[in-house]
Structure 1
Amino acid sequence: MTPDATTARVVLTTTDSADEADRLSRVLVDARLAACVQIAGPVRSVFRWEGAASVEEEWQLWLKTDLARVDDLTARLVAEHTYDVPEVLVLPVVGGHGPYLAWVTQETEGSAVDP
């Protein structure tokens, strides 16, 4: 596969604590829905919710997966998430290091031992 023809995707979400970010990451990697999750935080999020502007500290998760697993990852992420309306953004990967992209696909093939 050439780097220009990748099926890799990055899924972004946020959560309200480092512990919750760790828990979600482990669930999704253990289920082979994500090959890797990087956690950044805290980050400051500014948003409008229920008619009022809010500023909150959150932790951002960058989940690496394959296009074939995006729907299953999204469904599991939403089911496991503590937010009523979690952020779930799916970003295409337009290129990258071929062996890494192949690893992402390989790690997200199949199903988990303990779903």
Structure 2
Amino acid sequence: MAVVKLVTTLPISWKEFEVGDWANTLLSGKNVACIQIEKIKSMYSWQNSISSEEEWRLTMTTTSELINQLIATIESIHPYEIPQIVWHAVNSENSYSNWIKEATSDE
């Protein structure tokens, strides 16, 4: 099992409790072990123009076994037409890796 970090963003127009509710959907579904939420400034090219706006960034910790399920869930509940969904495997200390596995287990 590999530990995986996944990052996505949500609109800043969402209130903090709405972002929390969205994150709780993923946590209660055992798709992720934890989610860090922070406000960020994003700049990007969209529909032939440069945009700059604040967003919520959510950094999630999951396992390599659950990454495809997590992506499918995010795609099904995400408000953006084309959401940012990027991920990478990370190294982690053994006891933390074990906690991630336990936190995402149905047992």
- Normalising by structure 2, what TM-score? 0.90
Give the number of equivalent residue pairs. Answer: 104
Shift of 1:96: 1.9
- Tell whether the 8 Å contact from 1:21 to 1:61 is kept in structure 2 after alignment: no
Q: Deviations over 1:41-90 (max 9, x none)?
A: 1x100001111110010010011000000000000001111001000001
**5+ residue gaps, structure 1:** 1-5
2:83 equivalent among 78, 86, 90:
86
Give the root-mean-square deviation of aligned CA atoms.
1.5
Consecutive aligned runs of 4 or more in structure 1 exceeding 2 Å deviation = 17-21
**2:6 aligns with one of 8, 11, 34:** 11
Rounded Cα–Cα distance in structure 2 between residues aligned with 1:87 and 1:81: 10
* Residue of structure 2 equivalent to 1:28: 26
**Are 2:75 and 2:83, in contact at CA under 8 Å, matched by a contact in 1?**
yes
Match of 1:74 among 71, 75, 91: 71
Kept after mapping to 2: 8 A contact 1:12/1:88 = yes
- Give unmatched runs, 5+ long, in structure 2: none
- Indicate the residue corresponding to 1:40 in structure 2: 38
* Percentage of pairs with the same residue: 25
